[in-house]
Amino acid sequence: MATTNGTDMVNKLKGKNEIEEKKPKTLAQFIESMKPELQKALPKHLTADRIARIALTALRTNEKLAGCDPMSFVAALMQSAQAGLEPNTALGEAYLIPYGKEVQFQMGYKGLISLAHRSGEYQTIYAMEVYANDEFHYEYGLDPKLKHIPADEPEGEPVYYYAVYKLKNGGSGFTVWSKDKIIKHSQKYSQAVKKGYSSPWKTDFDAMAKKTVLKDVLKYAPKSIEFARQVSMDETVKNEISNDMSEIPSHDIDFVEADYEVSKDRLEKDLDLTDTPFENQ
């Protein structure tokens, strides 16, 4: 019968302890241990060290991210990197949002505009709010028209939101939604709104409204395969990494109240506007 002497037992325990010590204990350590795998999936202009720094900034601006599933966090981070949008900064291009233990990647409306310009097809693309005392008129049909002259001093709350684009080849398009239509849209499609949870729909309605009309107008706008691939990653939760994150299927999550807010003070402290832009790193 096999026996184990005291020395063998000590060595086994020592080896086990060494393995335990090497295991990542924090999300930051997990990202450090994942650098070789991350580098394989990153665009050529990005390094694993750069993405690790972006990750640490995101963790500082929303501390609840540290308690999320590590692979969910890394997958959301990789989507942001492959889209070329820096998350959780004052730029407002993209966000890593904790939903319980999962992390969702969300684009901001400014991120959508950045991606459109980068595609090289758009001369102009933007979204705006319309106030009751603005001069505003639009028509759809065979001869669509849109005219908006903002008042010097807006009165009350916005009553309409619209998005418009003009292509470099001369093509153009726009969409107009009333505020009531946007509210009904949020009540139908946002789980946070349905459940009465705190969300950007409550604290930053204008930004969400602009994102809504931008995504609507982009449905019918010419888009490159790359641009369409990037937009498809918006509002997804994934648990794998790949050199094309758009190919990884999103999965459903048990919806809980999200802690989407980031520290404004830390945003200003961590954002270095003299740094090379994320998409060009």
**Count of Cβ atoms closer than 10 Å to residue 2 Cβ:** 3
**In this structure, what are the phi and psi dihedrals at residue 279, rounded to the nearest 5 degrees?**
-70, -15
- Collapsed DSSP state (helix, strand, coil) of residue 147: strand
- Quote the pLDDT of residue 198: 67
Longest pairwise C-alpha distance within the chain: 93
pLDDT(272) > 70: no
> CA dihedral in degrees (142, 210, 201, 27; nearest 10)?
130
Round to whole Å and give the CA distance between 177 and 138: 11
- Is the pTM higher than 0.95? no
Question: CB of 124 within 8 A of CB of 166?
Answer: yes
- The alpha carbon of residue 83 and the mean position of all alpha carbons in its chain are separated, in whole angstroms, by 9
Q: What is the pLDDT of residues 14-44, one digit of tens each?
A: 444 443 445 566 888 888 888 888 888 887 7
The token pair that represents 48 in the structure block: 């694993």
Please tell me which residue, 214 or 64, carries the higher pLDDT value. Answer: 214
38 closest CA partner among 92, 93, 76, 89: 76
Please tell me which residue, 162 or 2, carries the higher pLDDT value. Answer: 162
- Quote the pLDDT of residue 232: 93
CB neighbour list of residue 215: distance below 8 Å, 6 or more residues apart = 112, 231, 234
Question: CB of 187 within 8 A of CB of 148?
Answer: no
pLDDT(217) > 70: yes
- Quote the pLDDT of residue 111: 94
Round to whole Å and give the CA distance between 145 and 119: 26
- Quote the pLDDT of residue 254: 55
Question: What does DSSP assign to residue 156?
Answer: S
Q: Between the CA of residue 5 and those of 9, 10, 15, 75, what are the distances in Å?
A: 6, 9, 16, 46
Q: Which residues pair with 279 in a beta bridge?
A: none
**Count of Cβ atoms closer than 10 Å to residue 169 Cβ:** 9
Helix (H) or strand (E) segment spanning residue 208 = helix 205-219
Round to whole Å and give the CA distance between 29 and 146: 53
Please tell me which residue, 77 or 194, carries the higher pLDDT value. Answer: 77
Round to whole Å and give the CA distance between 133 and 279: 39
Helix boundaries (H) for 42-119: 48-61, 70-83, 109-118
Q: What is the pLDDT of residues 50-109, one digit of tens each?
A: 888 888 888 888 888 888 999 999 999 999 989 988 888 888 899 898 888 889 999 999
pLDDT(220) > 90: no
Q: What is the pLDDT of residues 241-265, one digit of tens each?
A: 888 999 999 987 654 444 555 544 5
The average confidence (pLDDT) of the chain is 82
Round to whole Å and give the CA distance between 240 and 279: 22
**Count of Cβ atoms closer than 10 Å to residue 11 Cβ:** 11
